[in-house]
Structures are given as C-alpha cells and as structure tokens.
C-alpha cells in the first residue's frame, strides 16, 4: 500500500534516482573516511569537495527545469538566486571567524576593517546564528523571485523578453555586489572561512558530511519537484506552458501558477548556493555573471528539460567535462561547450534523458506492432474449421477473436 502510494506521488524513475543519490551520500563519505590512503576504491579529499560542487550545480539545474521544463519560463538569471543563497551562507561563515582574522576584530570581517568601517551594517545582524542564516538562504532568493515574478507575470511579459529581463536582473546584481560600499567584500567577495557549527571546514569529516548533506538535499528536492509536477497543480503548469491563453480562458490564473513555480525554483537555487559555498570556500560577485546562468540552461538542455532527473545528469556530465577540458585543453573548453550544445540541439533535441525515453517508447511501440502483425497460432474459426498457423481463413469466414 505504501509502495503504491509512493509510486503514485513520485514516480518510479524519480524514486530510483533518489535511491541512487542516497546511496552515493553514504558510499562516497564512507570510502573517503574508512578506506586507507592508496586504496584503489578510496575517494580522495579533493574529489569529495569536487563531487559536492557538481551536486550543487545539479540542484541549480533542477531548479531551472521546474520553471523552464514545466512552465515554459526560460530564465537566464537563475545564477542570481544561487549567488544570493551563497552570500547568505558566506556571511554566516564570516561571522564565525571572529578574532581569528588577520586584523583580529571580533565583530567586523577583515575586509570591513581594511575599508575603515566602524560598525557592522544592519543587514549583517543575526548572521552569527546558524538558524537565521539558513532562514535568509531561503527568504532572500524567494523574496527576490516573488517581487520579480509579481511584476513580470502580472504584466504578461513572456518569451524572449522575460529571458532578457532575468539576465538584466543578474547583471545589475553583479555590478552592485562589485562595489566595496555594498558591504559584501567587493571584488574579492567572502572567503577565508574557518569552520561551520564549530567544525573545521578543512577537516575530512566536515567535507564528507557536507557532501552527504548535499546529496540528501538533492534527493529531497527531486522528490518535492516530482510531487509538484505530478499533482493537479503540475498539470496546470504544463497547461500554462503549452497553451497559456486557453488556460486563462477556462478560469485559471497563469500568472499565479508561474509565480508559485518561480518562487519555489528561486528557493531551491538559494539552498544550492548555500551548500556550494562551504565546499568551495569562496563566494564573489562573479557568481552573478550572466554567463553562469546561461551555462545552467546548457546543462538542463543537454540532460533533457521537463524530466527533472535529466538536468541532474546534464549538470554532472558537463561539469566533469569542464574539469577535464580546463586541465588538459583550457583554451578549447568554450568551443567544446558550444559544440556540445549545438550537437545536442541538432541530434538530441530532447536532451540525453528525453531522447533515451523517446527511443524506449518507439521500441515498445514497434514491438507491439510486430506482435499484432505476427501470424496467429492454430485454432478454429467461428464455423469450426481448423485454421493452422499462418493460414488465412476461407473467404466469408469470421476471423478468430483475440483473447484479452
């Protein structure tokens, strides 16, 4: 009964992917912490942090897929929500440094002391508490998504115009955060973190725990998004994507459906950014760059938008390729990324997962047609005459009825 209910709410494929992520959340930290150095199955420390970064990118791609794949909103500014969540986490980590900084100021971060700030700005208040920082990780991106979506969707801005506005939003935030007088570290951003909740960030156990939390968060996010898209609201979201005018004419308010999906997506992106910062060790205004948001679109398209787990695959594969290319052929990476996107657009228009699912449906349909056209086994027609396999019944005779 419980298994049937889970299949109905989440779907079998999402449950399988979530189970794989939960297994990874256990196996990778166990391999890193329990196996000795030099063991062929041991995951090294740097790889734990690198894989954790890949999973945060996968969560960001999943957030974009919720609005692009199911509501038809092509956002080119989701990197802004990711960066805001990262800054909220970075502010908490900076407050944890205390008097261990270069200038040994127990209240002001080092960059504020360097810039001759006399007191902590009001918007830094409360970030010395973990629960408050985690609340801001969700509230700040969600509030920005709500305000932006409220005005954009009520004005019925759609298509390429909406995409351009989202890109302008993240570019404006990037320029603002580059300013030293904003109080977020300017060009250098926030870095030199020491610990989180009293645990040193560089310790293998802390890194393994952060990776496990990231994998579990990704699995939970995937299940939440699946529950939304498989519900009645999810059907309305798809209707808004495919025929917004008709959806409005039958009584729904598409702007509210879009706003809900956009805010949820912004919150997911903010959580991904918060998980990203302690594993990478820095957050700066470069995360707001429009190119980063465009890369998220590429990950989602390559994996397969409208599938939820496709963007996860696309984000991990593309970022692994980026890591390899930037080490082996750094000058060729952007050409490789562009070529990969063009190739997928031309030959795999539904992405890797979407095209694979389409092939499976085609194969099943072909198999069913072949079974229907195959010669029937020996039997009797309605007149009692024996009909052998491959033999046609006499003219005027009724064909044997198939048994359901």
Q: Using one digit for the tens of pLDDT, what is the confidence trace for 202-243?
A: 999 999 999 999 999 999 999 999 999 999 999 999 999 999
DSSP state string for 308-335: SHHHHHHHHHHHHHHHHHHHH-GGGHHH
pLDDT in the model for residue 385: 54
Instruction: Please compute the mean of the pLDDT values over residues 121-125 and round it to a whole number.
Output: 94
Predicted model pTM: 0.88
36 Cα distance to chain centroid: 33
Separation between Cα atoms, residue 210 and residue 199, nearest integer Å: 11
**Above 70 in pLDDT, residue 382?**
no
Q: Which one has a higher pLDDT value, 391 or 43?
A: 43
Instruction: Please compute the mean of the pLDDT values over residues 15-29 and round it to a whole number.
Output: 95
∠382-384-386 over CA atoms, to 5°? 110
Other CB atoms within a 10 A radius of the CB of residue 21 amount to: 23
Q: Which one has a higher pLDDT value, 131 or 388?
A: 131
Reduced to 3 states (helix: H, G, I; strand: E, B; else coil), residue 70 is helix
Residues 6+ apart with CB under 8 A from 209: 29, 199
Q: What percent of the chain has pLDDT over 70?
A: 90
Q: What is the pLDDT of residues 148-177, one digit of tens each?
A: 999 999 999 988 999 999 999 999 999 999
pLDDT in the model for residue 394: 54
pLDDT in the model for residue 101: 86
pLDDT in the model for residue 32: 94
pLDDT in the model for residue 402: 44
């Amino acid at each position: 009964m419980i298994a049937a209910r889970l299949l109905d709410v989440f779907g079998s494929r999402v449950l399988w992917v979530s189970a794989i992520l939960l297994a990874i959340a256990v196996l990778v930290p166990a391999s890193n912490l329990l196996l000795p150095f030099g063991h062929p199955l041991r995951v090294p420390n740097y790889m734990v942090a690198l894989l954790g970064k890949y999973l945060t990118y996968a969560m960001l791609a999943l957030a974009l897929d919720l609005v692009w794949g199911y509501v038809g909103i092509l956002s080119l500014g989701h990197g802004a929500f990711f960066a805001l969540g990262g800054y909220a986490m970075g502010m908490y980590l900076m407050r944890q440094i205390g008097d261990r900084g270069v200038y040994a100021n127990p209240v002001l971060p080092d960059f504020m002391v360097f810039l001759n700030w006399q007191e902590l700005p009001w918007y830094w208040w409360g970030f010395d508490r973990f629960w408050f920082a985690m609340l801001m990780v969700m509230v700040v991106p969600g509030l920005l998504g709500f305000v932006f979506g409220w005005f954009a969707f009520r004005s019925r801005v759609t298509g390429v115009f909406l995409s351009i506005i989202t890109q302008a939003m993240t570019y404006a935030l990037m320029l603002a955060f580059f300013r030293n007088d904003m109080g977020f570290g300017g060009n250098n951003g926030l870095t030199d973190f020491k610990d989180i909740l009293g645990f040193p960030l560089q310790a293998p156990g802390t890194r393994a725990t952060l990776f496990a939390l990231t994998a579990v968060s990704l699995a939970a996010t995937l299940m939440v998004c699946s529950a939304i898209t498989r519900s009645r609201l999810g059907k309305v979201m798809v209707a808004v994507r495919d025929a917004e005018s008709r959806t409005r004419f039958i009584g729904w308010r598409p702007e509210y459906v879009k706003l809900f999906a956009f805010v949820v997506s912004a919150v997911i992106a903010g959580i991904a950014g918060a998980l990203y910062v302690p594993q990478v060790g820095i957050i700066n205004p470069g995360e707001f760059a429009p190119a980063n948001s465009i890369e998220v679109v590429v990950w989602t398209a390559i994996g397969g938008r409208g599938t939820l787990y496709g963007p996860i695959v696309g984000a991990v594969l593309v970022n692994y390729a980026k890591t390899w290319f930037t080490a082996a052929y750094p000058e060729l990476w952007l050409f490789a990324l562009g070529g990969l996107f063009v190739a997928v657009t031309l030959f795999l228009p539904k992405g890797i997962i979407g095209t694979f699912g389409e092939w499976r449906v085609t194969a099943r349909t072909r198999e069913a047609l072949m079974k229907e056209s195959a010669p029937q086994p020996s039997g009797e027609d309605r007149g009692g005459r024996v009909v052998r396999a491959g033999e046609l019944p006499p003219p005027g005779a009724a064909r044997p009825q198939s048994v359901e």
